[in-house]
């Protein structure tokens, strides 16, 4: 079967596609070394399969499948560095790639702070590859969507969303003996249900697709869509809010790059001058933990350095930052395995965030609230002040008024202007951490939270 990828004139035969394996990675790298005459050579390679079923207006309108492979070579020659990439893995293309990368390197200025490539490393194993996800069929996705649509139609709702699955293999090797390899599967189900005046939303991702529980997500979205009909307008102001995990995640995502050692060193982080200081409430604990059972990703960073578990906030105190090798060398710290592939201007970031929680449920938080709001999620979030982490954005797909410890009715969506630093100093209750997916940030393990004095600046008309 012939497939053609968007924006790519190359046509590939599907029956010739090969997922990357350790052995295949070694074979490709042998060819890279054969044609590279640089002082140091690094190759990153990947292959992926991805399939998606999209639905809207209570019907499937798109089903696509994609298979991709790529090779990226970074060369260092006489202190000069460059990277070149291709999706062609035949020997002639690999030879041309190495020649192009070397030519580019020779045109670059010398990298005075460039460190030698790291040698062999030892990695802790993570098991994140499930055949059931890799082999998920279009028929199974379509049957699942049909059940979700049937549920929506029973209540005269309109459903839209995505059901996707995929398989990824990734390798990083260099001429100093590094060999890193990782493979994992991933699946996602998201659904929005809409009535004439209300909407509800739910989303989840997981390496093992059965953990998505699409019908449970659809039921959650259905209940919110029905409960939010005919929303009432409330005045702007400061309210106690209960943020469901997706709402917490999309706010926290705007703070993650600030835990970069390079960002603090260059004074573009909100934590510049605050390392070792208490910034948040006593109940705020954050760590970067690639090995948490609800996390995903490779156990090594963009340079092949093993990722470490790093406590970044303990009892409200900014305890640690994360460091790439070059940043660590610059500031006299130890690398933590959080680098992006070189060359880059970002340095590093913690991308496997785990936020500690407590035993409270969202229902417990509602019962403890005399007057306040329940927020399903936010959208269109923008940063207003990067040093105070002042954010603005809007509520969406299920915002509810709480009074007397009960949800009373839906409310029209609100725009917020809120400092994230202040918000995390005003958290009164926390739920149990869960793997959470949103629309404004990457997946994290975070709890729901009850927050006092959350600032809403204006209302909307829907």
In a domain, 113, yes or no: yes
Question: How far is 63 from 55, CA to CA, in rounded Å?
Answer: 9
Mean pLDDT of 211-222: 98
Confidence of residue 13 (pLDDT cuts 50, 70, 90): very low
Q: How confident is the model at residue 18 (pLDDT cuts 50, 70, 90)?
A: confident
Domain that holds residue 179: 2-211
Is 331 within a domain?
A: no
Q: What pLDDT digit, counting tens, does each position of 93-139 carry?
A: 999 999 999 999 999 999 999 999 999 999 999 999 999 999 999 99
Note the residue count of the chain.
Answer: 462
Is 291 within the bounds of a domain? no
Residues 246 and 101 in one domain: no
State the pLDDT at residue 17: 75
| Contact present, 441 and 381 (Cβ < 8 Å) | no
- Identify whether 60 is part of a domain: yes
Of the residues 153, 182, 211, which one is the last residue of a structural domain?
211
Q: Kindly report the CATH number assigned to the domain that includes residue 49.
A: 3.30.2290.10
Together in a domain, 237 and 204: no
Domain identity same for 15 and 124: yes
Sign of CA dihedral 215, 216, 221, 225: positive
Tell me: do 137 and 238 sit in the same domain.
Answer: no
Is pLDDT of 9 > 60?
no
64 lies in the same domain as 109: yes
Give the separation between CA 256 and CA 350, rounded to whole angstroms: 7
Tell me the percentage of the chain whose pLDDT exceeds 70: 97
Q: In terms of domains, do 199 and 87 share one? A: yes
pLDDT tens-digit map of 306-336: 999 999 999 999 999 999 999 999 999 999 9
> What pLDDT shows up at residue 8?
40
Q: For the chain, how many structural domains are there in total?
A: 2
Q: Is the peptide bond before 111 cis (omega within 30 degrees of 0)?
A: no
Phi-psi region of 45 (alpha: psi -120 to 50; beta: other; left: phi over 0): beta
Question: Which of these ranges, 167-171, 294-298, 362-366, 457-461, has the smallest mean pLDDT?
Answer: 457-461
What are the beta bridge partners of residue 71? 45, 86
Predicted confidence (pLDDT) per residue in 148-186, tens digit = 999 999 999 999 999 999 999 999 999 999 999 999 999
Question: How would residue 7 be classed by pLDDT, with cut points 50, 70 and 90?
Answer: very low
Q: Are residues 243 and 193 in the same domain?
A: no
Mean pLDDT of 30-52: 98
CA–CA distance, 75 with 40 (Å, rounded to integer): 6
**Same domain membership, residue 123 and residue 237:** no
**383-416 tens-digit pLDDT:** 999 999 999 999 999 999 999 999 999 999 999 9
pLDDT tens digit string along 61-92? 999 999 999 999 999 999 999 999 999 999 99
Kindly state whether residue 283 falls inside one of the protein's structural domains: no
Mean pLDDT (whole number) for 202-206? 98
Residue 2 has pLDDT above 60, yes or no: no
The verdict on residue 134 lying in a domain is: yes
Whether the full predicted model's pTM is greater than 0.85, yes or no, is yes
pLDDT of residue 359: 95
User: Per the structure block, which two tokens stand in for 110?
Assistant: 């010398």
The DSSP code for 190 is E
State percent of the chain over pLDDT 90.
95
Residues 6+ apart with CB under 8 A from 307: 288, 290, 298, 299, 300, 301, 336, 337, 338, 352
Helices (H) and strands (E) in the chain, counts: 10, 21
Note whether residue 294 is domain-resident: no
- Residue 11 clears pLDDT 50, i.e. is over it: no
Q: Is the pLDDT of residue 302 over 70?
A: yes
Average pLDDT, the chain: 95
Q: pLDDT class for 461, splitting at 50, 70, 90?
A: confident
Max CA distance (Å), the chain: 73
For the record, the structure tokens of 362 come out as 């969202």
């Amino acid at each position: 079967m012939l497939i053609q990828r968007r924006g790519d004139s190359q046509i590939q035969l599907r029956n010739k596609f090969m997922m990357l394996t350790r052995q295949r990675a070694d074979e490709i790298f042998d060819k890279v070394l054969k044609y590279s005459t640089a002082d140091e050579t690094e190759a990153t390679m990947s292959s992926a399969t991805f399939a998606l079923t999209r639905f809207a207006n209570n019907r499937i309108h798109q089903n696509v499948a994609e298979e991709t492979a790529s090779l990226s070579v970074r060369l260092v020659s006489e202190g000069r560095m460059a990277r070149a990439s291709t999706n062609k893995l035949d020997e002639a293309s690999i030879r041309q790639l190495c020649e192009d990368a070397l030519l580019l390197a020779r045109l670059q200025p010398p990298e005075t702070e460039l460190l030698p490539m790291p040698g062999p490393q030892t990695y802790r194993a993570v098991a994140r590859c499930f055949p059931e996800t890799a082999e998920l069929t279009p028929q199974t996705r379509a049957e699942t969507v049909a059940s979700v649509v049937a549920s929506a139609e029973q209540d005269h709702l309109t459903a839209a969303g995505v059901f996707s699955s995929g398989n990824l293999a990734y390798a990083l090797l260099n001429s100093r003996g590094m060999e890193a390899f990782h493979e994992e599967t991933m699946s996602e189900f998201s659904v929005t249900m809409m009535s004439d005046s209300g909407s509800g939303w739910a989303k989840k991702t997981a390496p093992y697709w059965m953990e998505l529980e699409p019908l449970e997500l659809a039921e959650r979205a259905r209940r919110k869509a029905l409960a939010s009909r005919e929303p009432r307008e409330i005045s702007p102001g400061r309210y106690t809010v209960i943020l469901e995990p997706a709402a917490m995640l999309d706010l926290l995502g705007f703070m993650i790059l600030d835990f970069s050692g390079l960002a603090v060193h260059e004074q573009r982080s909100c934590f510049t001058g605050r390392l070792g200081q208490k910034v948040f409430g006593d109940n705020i604990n954050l760590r970067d933990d690639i090995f948490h059972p609800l996390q995903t990703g490779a156990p090594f960073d963009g340079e092949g350095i093993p990722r470490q578990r790093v406590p970044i906030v303990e009892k409200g105190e900014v305890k640690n930052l994360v460091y790439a090798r070059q940043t660590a060398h610059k500031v006299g710290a130890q690398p933590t395995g959080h680098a992006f592939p070189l060359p880059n201007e970002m340095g590093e970031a913690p991308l496997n965030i785990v936020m500690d929680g407590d035993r409270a449920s969202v229902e417990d938080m509602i019962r403890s609230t005399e007057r306040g709001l329940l927020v399903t999620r936010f959208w269109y979030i923008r940063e207003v002040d990067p040093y105070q982490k002042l954010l603005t954005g809007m509520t969406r797909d299920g915002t509810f008024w709480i009074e007397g410890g009960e949800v009373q009715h839906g409310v029209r969506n609100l725009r917020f202007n809120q400092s994230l630093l202040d918000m995390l100093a005003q958290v009164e209750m926390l739920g149990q951490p869960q793997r959470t997916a949103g629309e404004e940030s990457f997946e994290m393990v975070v709890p729901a939270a009850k927050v006092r004095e959350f600032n809403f600046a204006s209302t909307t008309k829907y």
